[in-house]
Structure formats: structure tokens, C-alpha cells
């Protein structure tokens, strides 16, 4: 019964998610009955058919997201009955739960076993897979069966059918390089996971992500690690066959665009060396050589993160300005000479819905603004599509601002810093929406942390390193 009670709460949350995303309008008829009493008037809304109650998870934390109360009537269906005007003397909840009359129809907060005992087992996983990530971890403590869902193939299939929402961001703070901080934009909340398998004597930086996994590279550019920040699934990749310790650019894709079918990682150096890691084979390989038409050495823009679209990775290069691409499926390299906009600094690639974007600081004289461009496929030129609101850009006037892009998958996170300022903002490419991000403060700390680097990743409960 405890597990069924918790499932009832899950369904309430699912109803809210469905309402908010699909804005479905049900053709339910409702009638209002006005009951007048001697000292007050109470209005009851009786819905036919009844609806599930729910709550707003954005106002809830991981520890307090279970404040949901359901009412089960004698009609063997759930009903939400809430007075618009409370009576003068409200009776304690324990009295109401015992079935004492409070001027309303007879209700009980106790679940009726006859209703829920035959709930189809296959619907458990379907409901849980559609919950917010924070709620899932809260409900794992219900029973062993729910706690073991992470290893269930059927649950993995259910999770794969859920459309991906906005990505999360895994970041490294300036003063705590050995512990990450994850930002959930839906809750506008920072989480501070402790990934115990990561080496503590080395500084490891998040450099790429795909399929819910984050790829780390130690600061000495020697060892690669792959981890699921949500479940702590961890793997240290075998040593590379090509001993290149100089700075490298890294990209990551999922095999056949399907979570659970493995992943590939590509690193490329300025001299043209590159290797591909295949998680299915658990080995590095060099499929071939760069074509002679490639301009070597590659003047890679290491401030720019790699963009992945399907099986193709895109790297930004400079001198000449442009983009270099590599197709993981075919092993084909290409390069595109694309001049950058004038007065542009700290620019980096981004991606939205299969389209390559560019974000950077546009600085002229003492004025600085963050601008967004879209790559025109026919002309291979950048077209400006949006820029930060002018009222925000006024804060940058006369300041030496540096920008770091911490995530480039449809929802961008930008770190804007100067001697007088430390600001984090997100930009939603689809909605053209700019939002300020709350400051990142480590647990039991007071000082706001500076974000050193980071990457975006789509949270996935079932991704395995």
C-alpha cells in the first residue's frame, strides 16, 4: 500500500506535466452548488468526470516534493474538493482524515485498496519515466522494485520514449575544481553531486557530452573518463595509442542516435592527429588521415565547444576563420571557410534543432553586447538573429568583459565576468528568452562561486558509461 500511495502522487505530478506541456482541454461538464449556512457561505465545485490533483514542482525541492493530498470518495473515483472560502473554525487534519463531517461531502484521505490493488504493473514504469528527475530520486526509497529501476531494460525503453526537455549543465567552480555543480534550469536550482570514482589528485574538466553521459579530460590532456552525473555510472577509458599531450578538442556522439547502443568520442589536435573511441569495442582507433585539402596545422578555437548534429561533429577554427566537421559514421572530414562578424570576441559554436549557431561578444569602443547568429546554409554566412537586452548590456559598458559558453544545446549558459562583475545567464534559442541564473554557492558555504568551465547534457537515468 505504501508503494501505491506514492504512485498516486506520481500520477498527480504527471497530470500537471501533461497539462503544462499539451494544454489539453477536456470536455468535462461542471456544476456549482451554492450552499448557504448561518455564518458563512461555501462554494463547492463538483467536477464530472473528476481530475487528479497536482502541485508545482518548481516550488519544491528534492526533499519536499511530496506535499500532495488525494481524496477518494465512495464512488470509487478520485475527486478534488476545495472550498474557495474557508469556514470560520477549521478542524484539524487528523479529524478530517477520520471521516468526521466538515460541511463537505464524505471524503477520506486513506487510499481504497480495492481500487489500487489491480493497478497494471506495466504502467508503473511508464508513469515514473515521465517524472522530473528530482522527483524520481525522491521516490526511489518507496520499495526495492522502484530502487532497481535503473537496471531495468523495460524502464530504459520507457525513458527513451520520453522527449528530451531542456538540458542540464555540469560545471566546475573556480575554487572547487574536484567537485562539480549541476544546474537544473526547470527548477532553477543548483545540485552538488559527489562523483566518487573521479580521481581526486587530478583536475578533470568536462569537455563533451552525449546521451546523458559527460566526457571528462584531465588537465594534463592524458586520460579520459566518462560518467553519468545522475547515477554515478563511471568508466575510465583505455590509454590512447597516439601519445599527444598538447591541447586537444573533443567531441562525443551516440551510436545510431539511440541511448544504450554505445557512444563514440573524437579528439583532434592542432597538427591533425586524431583518434576515435568506440564504447562497444572499448578501444581507440585511427580510421584514416585528414585529407590533403585541410589547412594544417589546425588553428582550433579552444574556447569554443564542439557541436554535435546527428553523427557529425563541428569544431571552430581560426586563421582562417571557419568550421571543421567530422562524420563519425563515414569518417569524412570537411572544412568551411566562414568569416566571423566584425568586432567579435569570445565566440563559440552552438546548436539548435540541427542548425549551427554562433554566440559571442560584440565589442565596439566601450560598448559590449552578447549577440546570437545563425549560419545560413546557402551562403555560408552568419546572420544575426538576436542580442541581449540593451538594459543588461549597459552593465558591461566600459568594462573588460570575458564570456565563456558553458552549454550549447538549444539552451545556452553564458558566464560573463569582469573585475566588477560575475554573472550567469541562460538563453533559450527557440523562445529567444534571456534569464539570469541564481548564484552557485557550495553547501555550507556563503561565497558565490565563479564557474570555470562546463558542458550541457541531457539528464538520463538509464545511460551507462
List, for residues 155-176, the tens digit of each pLDDT value. Answer: 777 777 777 778 999 998 876 6
pLDDT bracket for residue 428 (50, 70, 90): very high
The per-type count for the chain, helices as H runs and strands as E runs, is: 8, 26
Above 60 in pLDDT, residue 444? Answer: yes
Mean pLDDT over all residues of the chain? 76
pLDDT bracket for residue 145 (50, 70, 90): confident
For the ranges 22-31, 230-239, 374-383, 420-429, which has the lowest average pLDDT?
A: 22-31
Are 291 and 360 within one domain?
yes
- The answer to whether position 429 is within a domain reads yes
Are 324 and 273 within one domain?
yes
Q: Which of 86, 105, 106, 93 is nearest to 40 (CA)?
A: 86
Contact residues for 218 (Cβ-Cβ < 8 A; gap 6+): 199, 202, 203, 204, 205, 225
Rounded Cα distance between 266 and 224, Å, is 11
More confident site: 160 or 24? 160
Above 90 in pLDDT, residue 375? Answer: yes
Are 217 and 341 within one domain?
yes
Are 406 and 445 within one domain?
yes
Are 153 and 173 within one domain?
no
Rounded Cα distance between 25 and 375, Å, is 39
pLDDT bracket for residue 84 (50, 70, 90): very low
Above 50 in pLDDT, residue 5? Answer: yes
Element (H, E) at 146: helix 144-147
Are 341 and 445 within one domain?
yes
Among residues 128, 161, 194, which one ends one of the domains? Answer: 161
pLDDT bracket for residue 30 (50, 70, 90): very low
Are 134 and 174 within one domain?
no
- The answer to whether position 271 is within a domain reads yes
Are 410 and 292 within one domain?
yes
For the ranges 98-112, 134-148, 168-182, 392-406, which has the lowest average pLDDT?
A: 98-112
For the ranges 34-38, 219-223, 257-261, 448-452, which has the lowest average pLDDT?
A: 34-38
Name the percent of the chain lying above pLDDT 70. Answer: 73
The pLDDT, as a whole number, for residue 11 is: 67
Among residues 108, 135, 161, which one ends one of the domains? Answer: 161
- The answer to whether position 113 is within a domain reads no
pLDDT bracket for residue 418 (50, 70, 90): confident
| Average pLDDT of the residues in 213-230 | 90
Burial class of residue 315, CB neighbours in 10 A (0-12, 13-18, 19+): buried
Element (H, E) at 93: helix 93-97
pLDDT bracket for residue 32 (50, 70, 90): very low
- CB contact at 8 A, 206 and 453: yes
Above 80 in pLDDT, residue 77? Answer: no
| φ, ψ dihedrals at 132, nearest 5° | -60, 150
Helix (H/G/I), strand (E/B), else coil: 444: coil
pLDDT bracket for residue 18 (50, 70, 90): low
Rounded Cα distance between 4 and 78, Å, is 14
Above 70 in pLDDT, residue 16? Answer: no
CATH number of the domain residue 236 falls in? 2.120.10.80
C-alpha cell belonging to residue 245: 599531450
- The answer to whether position 57 is within a domain reads no
Among residues 161, 185, 215, which one ends one of the domains? Answer: 161
- The answer to whether position 110 is within a domain reads no
Rounded Cα distance between 361 and 128, Å, is 42
pLDDT bracket for residue 89 (50, 70, 90): low
Above 50 in pLDDT, residue 38? Answer: no
The pLDDT, as a whole number, for residue 7 is: 61
Above 90 in pLDDT, residue 66? Answer: no
pLDDT bracket for residue 260 (50, 70, 90): low
Above 90 in pLDDT, residue 460? Answer: no
- The answer to whether position 98 is within a domain reads no
Which DSSP string corresponds to 278-343? ETTTTEEE------TTS-SS--B-TTSPPEEETTEEEEEETTTTEEEEEETTT--EEEEE-PPPTT
Highest mean pLDDT of the ranges 14-28, 93-107, 214-228: 214-228
Are 450 and 385 within one domain?
yes
The tally of domains found in the chain comes to 2
Length of the chain: 465
For the ranges 136-140, 229-233, 353-357, 361-365, which has the lowest average pLDDT?
A: 136-140
Q: Which residues does residue 30 pair with via DSSP β-bridges, in sequence order?
A: 47
Name the percent of the chain lying above pLDDT 90. Answer: 31
The pLDDT, as a whole number, for residue 40 is: 39
The pLDDT, as a whole number, for residue 457 is: 92
C-alpha cell belonging to residue 33: 452548488
Are 156 and 186 within one domain?
no
Helix (H/G/I), strand (E/B), else coil: 92: coil
- The answer to whether position 47 is within a domain reads no
The pLDDT, as a whole number, for residue 245 is: 73
Above 50 in pLDDT, residue 51? Answer: no
Are 135 and 240 within one domain?
no
Above 60 in pLDDT, residue 9? Answer: yes
- CB contact at 8 A, 50 and 28: no
Angstrom CA distances, 126 to 109, 131, 132, 223, stand at: 25, 9, 13, 38
More confident site: 409 or 40? 409
The pLDDT, as a whole number, for residue 132 is: 77
Burial class of residue 139, CB neighbours in 10 A (0-12, 13-18, 19+): buried
pLDDT bracket for residue 57 (50, 70, 90): very low
Are 134 and 200 within one domain?
no
Rounded Cα distance between 267 and 142, Å, is 43
Above 70 in pLDDT, residue 299? Answer: yes
Above 60 in pLDDT, residue 124? Answer: yes
More confident site: 294 or 139? 294
C-alpha cell belonging to residue 47: 467536477
Neighbours of 240 (CB within 10 A): 19
The pLDDT, as a whole number, for residue 92 is: 53
- The answer to whether position 291 is within a domain reads yes
Question: What is the domain extent for residue 298?
Answer: 168-457
More confident site: 210 or 78? 210
Which DSSP string corresponds to 198-211? S-SSS-EEEEEEET
Amino acid at each position: 500500500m505504501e508503494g501505491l500511495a506514492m504512485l498516486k502522487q506520481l500520477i498527480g505530478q504527471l497530470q500537471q506535466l501533461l497539462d503544462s506541456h499539451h494544454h489539453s482541454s477536456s470536455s468535462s461538464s461542471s456544476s456549482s452548488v451554492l450552499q448557504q449556512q448561518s455564518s458563512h457561505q461555501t462554494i463547492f465545485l463538483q467536477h464530472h468526470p473528476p481530475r487528479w490533483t497536482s502541485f508545482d514542482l518548481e516550488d519544491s525541492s528534492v526533499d519536499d516534493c511530496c506535499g500532495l493530498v488525494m481524496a477518494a470518495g465512495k464512488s470509487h473515483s478520485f475527486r478534488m474538493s476545495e472550498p474557495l472560502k474557508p469556514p470560520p473554525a477549521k478542524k484539524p487534519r487528523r479529524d478530517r482524515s477520520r471521516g468526521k463531517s466538515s460541511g463537505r461531502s464524505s471524503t477520506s484521505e486513506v487510499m481504497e485498496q480495492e481500487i489500487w490493488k489491480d493497478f497494471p504493473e506495466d504502467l508503473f514504469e511508464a508513469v515514473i519515466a515521465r517524472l522530473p528527475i528530482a522527483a524520481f530520486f525522491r521516490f526511489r526509497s518507496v520499495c526495492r522494485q522502484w530502487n532497481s529501476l535503473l537496471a531495468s531494460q523495460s524502464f530504459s525503453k520507457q525513458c527513451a520514449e520520453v522527449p528530451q526537455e531542456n538540458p542540464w549543465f555540469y560545471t566546475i567552480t573556480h575554487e572547487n575544481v574536484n567537485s562539480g555543480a549541476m544546474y537544473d534550469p526547470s527548477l532553477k536550482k543548483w545540485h552538488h553531486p559527489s562523483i566518487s570514482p573521479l580521481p581526486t589528485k587530478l583536475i578533470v574538466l568536462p569537455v563533451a557530452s552525449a546521451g546523458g553521459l559527460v566526457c571528462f579530460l584531465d588537465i594534463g590532456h592524458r586520460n579520459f573518463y566518462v560518467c553519468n552525473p545522475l547515477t554515478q555510472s563511471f568508466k575510465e577509458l583505455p590509454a590512447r595509442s597516439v601519445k599527444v599531450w598538447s591541447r586537444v578538442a573533443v567531441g562525443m556522439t551516440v551510436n545510431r542516435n539511440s541511448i544504450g547502443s554505445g557512444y563514440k568520442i573524437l579528439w583532434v589536435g592542432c597538427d591533425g592527429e586524431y583518434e576515435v573511441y568506440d564504447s562497444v569495442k572499448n578501444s581507440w582507433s585511427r580510421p584514416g588521415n585528414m585529407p590533403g585539402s585541410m589547412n594544417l596545422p589546425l588553428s582550433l578555437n579552444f574556447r569554443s565547444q564542439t557541436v554535435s548534429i546527428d553523427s557529425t561533429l563541428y569544431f571552430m577554427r581560426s586563421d582562417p576563420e571557419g568550421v571543421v566537421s567530422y562524420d563519425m559514421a563515414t569518417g569524412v572530414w570537411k572544412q568551411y571557410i566562414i568569416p566571423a562578424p566584425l568586432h567579435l570576441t569570445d565566440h563559440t559554436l552552438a546548436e539548435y534543432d540541427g542548425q549551427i549557431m554562433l554566440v559571442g561578444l560584440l565589442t565596439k569602443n566601450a560598448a559590449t553586447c552578447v549577440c546570437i547568429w545563425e549560419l545560413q546554409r546557402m551562403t555560408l554566412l552568419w546572420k544575426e538573429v538576436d542580442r541581449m537586452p540593451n538594459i543588461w548590456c549597459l552593465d558591461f559598458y566600459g568594462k573588460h568583459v570575458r564570456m565563456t559558453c558553458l552549454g550549447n544545446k538549444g539552451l545556452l549558459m553564458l558566464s560573463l565576468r569582469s573585475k566588477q562583475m560575475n554573472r550567469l545567464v541562460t538563453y533559450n534559442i527557440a523562445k529567444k528568452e534571456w534569464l539570469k541564473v541564481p548564484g552557485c554557492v557550495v553547501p555550507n558555504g556563503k561565497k558565490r562561486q565563479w564557474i570555470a568551465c562546463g558542458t550541457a547534457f541531457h539528464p538520463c537515468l538509464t545511460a551507462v558509461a
